[in-house]
Amino acid sequence: MPGAEPIIIRKQIILAALVITTGLVWAGLTGTTARAAEEVAVAHVNTDASPFPRPAALEPSINFWIKAFTYWSERDFVVHDRDNVSLIYQKFHVPGDGAPTGEEVEWANAYLKAKYGDILNRLATGQQAIGWEEQRVAAMFKGQPVSAYARAAQNLRVQQGLSEQFHDSLLRSRYYRPRMEQVFVRAGLPRDLVALASVESGFSARVRSSAGALGIWQFTRSTGREFLKITRYRDDRLDPVRSTEAAAELLQSNYQALGSWPLAITAYNYGTGGMERAAAECGSDYMKILQNYNGAHFGFAVKNYYAEFLAADQVHRYEDKYFPGIQSEEAPPPPASSPILRVRRIIHRFRSRHHHAHIKQVSATHRRDASTATHHRHAAAARHSSHASGDAHNRDAAADSPSRNDS
């Protein structure tokens, strides 16, 4: 056919370009993964002397959170197993710019859970994997019974990327970390423990959680009142220095009660009493508690809290590796945070009371002036009557007019 040869050549060129592009992409991904692994390995070697233990079994979880904090953007959604966070099914990127809307977040969550729930439930029936996605999922469960698919289908979770948020928290931390580290060192705590504020609030002084926790160190009102002044008009949870002193006191108390940093740090999230019950039931080995304890509210957030802290600490130590150039970035000053609340209401009430007092004073003065005026009118009338009717009538008028005696 005329022109068939040029078409074939064009197809071959396009195919070759696709192969080359794919090779470059995989090479880039492999290089990125290798660099990431190398950075993690270097950081791990250099943190061996850290006071915070890093159990080998916890490394996959630490690496998961390092990726969430540094590699996955806010438009990336990662569907994974809730109990084994390193079991990742897919990283899905929502097209667009800027932070995703609430609707986009809900859609990505629902889409990924439905997609992999369907795949896992179909494999759970014993059917052969069809298509490369099902085959890839089936390979993750190689050697496991078919019932593992059904359990996994009920254990799906979606994690949104946090790299933009964590980048900003690193910048904000520059304003707070020096003073916070002084407070912690003065309290006898490791200075790197300050990185816990990244997990709690991202070093945001005015952030409030859905549970009512407030400030950089996210104290609830009930716990905060044990260490801070919290009234209708003052809330020291909003004071970065006072709340840091309170956090140091609580962490020190946790460590003294529990005897290890993994338990003490987890207790900051779960409560000292909760971790004491967990230790009494499973012993003081953190990994045994993590794997075996099933106490009330001992869920995903609590189980991942210590791993998140270790990941945050590592990123803080090597921030320029994870965010190249961040050390030269200018950190905008954080918004002012004052523990004084309801200032306008206080001023309004003061002005209101002052206004009512003024009205009362004016009213009393008015009544006094009115009384004096009445007295003067009566006195004038009496004098006029006295001149007209004689002294006898004047004495009667005096007896009938009590205001005479007030003049």
Tell me: the pLDDT tens digits for 90-116? 999 999 999 999 999 999 999 999 999
What's 220's DSSP letter?
A: -
Residue 64 falls in which region: left (phi positive, over 0), alpha (psi -120 to 50) or beta: alpha
Answer for the pair 326, 170: CB distance below 8 angstroms, yes or no: yes
Question: What is the mean predicted confidence (pLDDT) over 35-42?
Answer: 48
Q: Do both 156 and 176 map to the same domain?
A: no
Q: Do both 297 and 197 map to the same domain?
A: yes
Q: At 234, is the secondary structure helix, strand, or coil?
A: strand
From CA 163, how far away is CA 157, in angstroms rounded?
19
Domain termination residue (choose one: 160, 175, 198): 160
Q: Do both 364 and 326 map to the same domain?
A: no
88: which 2 tokens? 């990742």
Residue located via tokens 């309290």: 187
Alpha-carbon distance values, 159 to 79, 92, 105 (Å): 6, 10, 10
Query: Helices 4-46 and 59-70: crossing angle, nearest 10°?
Result: 120
From CA 152, how far away is CA 139, in angstroms rounded?
14
Range in 185-194, 198-207, 228-237, 359-368 the model is least confident about: 359-368
Q: Is the pLDDT of residue 404 over 60?
A: no
From CA 278, how far away is CA 275, in angstroms rounded?
5
- What pLDDT sits at residue 301? 97
Question: What is the mean predicted confidence (pLDDT) over 349-363?
Answer: 46
Q: Do both 104 and 221 map to the same domain?
A: no
Helix (H) or strand (E) holding 164: helix 163-186
From CA 122, how far away is CA 135, in angstroms rounded?
12
Q: Do both 134 and 39 map to the same domain?
A: yes
From CA 106, how far away is CA 350, in angstroms rounded?
47
Domain span including residue 391: 345-406
Half-sphere exposure of 243 (CA within 13 A, CB side): 31
Answer for the pair 236, 259: CB distance below 8 angstroms, yes or no: no
Domain count, the chain: 3
Q: Do both 208 and 287 map to the same domain?
A: yes
Residue 17 falls in which region: left (phi positive, over 0), alpha (psi -120 to 50) or beta: alpha
Q: Do both 325 and 353 map to the same domain?
A: no
Position 341 confidence tier, pLDDT thresholds 50, 70, 90:
confident
CATH number at residue 263: 1.10.530.10
Query: Helices 261-270 and 272-282: crossing angle, nearest 10°?
Result: 130
Q: Do both 331 and 217 map to the same domain?
A: yes
Sequential DSSP letters for 321-368: HHSTTGGGSPPPPPPP--SB--HHHHHHHHHHHHHHHHHHHHHHHHHH
Of the two residues 153 and 27, the one the predictor is more confident about is: 153
- What pLDDT sits at residue 291? 95
Of the two residues 312 and 4, the one the predictor is more confident about is: 312
Q: pLDDT by residue (tens digit) across 289-313?
A: 999 999 999 999 999 999 999 999 9
Half-sphere exposure of 92 (CA within 13 A, CB side): 21
Alpha-carbon distance values, 245 to 230, 259, 333 (Å): 15, 21, 22
φ, ψ at 150 (rounded to 5°): -65, -40
Domain termination residue (choose one: 297, 316, 341): 341
Position 16 confidence tier, pLDDT thresholds 50, 70, 90:
very low
Domain termination residue (choose one: 128, 160, 192): 160
Q: Is the pLDDT of residue 344 over 70?
A: no
Residue located via tokens 């912690």: 184
Q: Is the pLDDT of residue 41 over 70?
A: no
Q: Do both 109 and 153 map to the same domain?
A: yes
Report the mean per-residue pLDDT for the chain: 81
Question: What is the mean predicted confidence (pLDDT) over 351-375?
Answer: 48
Q: Is the pLDDT of residue 335 over 50?
A: yes
How, if at all, do strands 156-160 and 76-81 pair?
antiparallel
From CA 38, how far away is CA 59, in angstroms rounded?
14
Q: Do both 316 and 184 map to the same domain?
A: yes
Range in 67-71, 226-230, 262-266, 342-346 the model is least confident about: 342-346
Q: What is the largest CA-CA distance in the chain?
A: 148
Reduced DSSP (H G I as helix, E B as strand, rest coil) percent helix, strand, coil of the chain, to 5? 70, 5, 25
- What pLDDT sits at residue 342? 62
Q: Do both 77 and 132 map to the same domain?
A: yes
Q: Do both 140 and 173 map to the same domain?
A: no
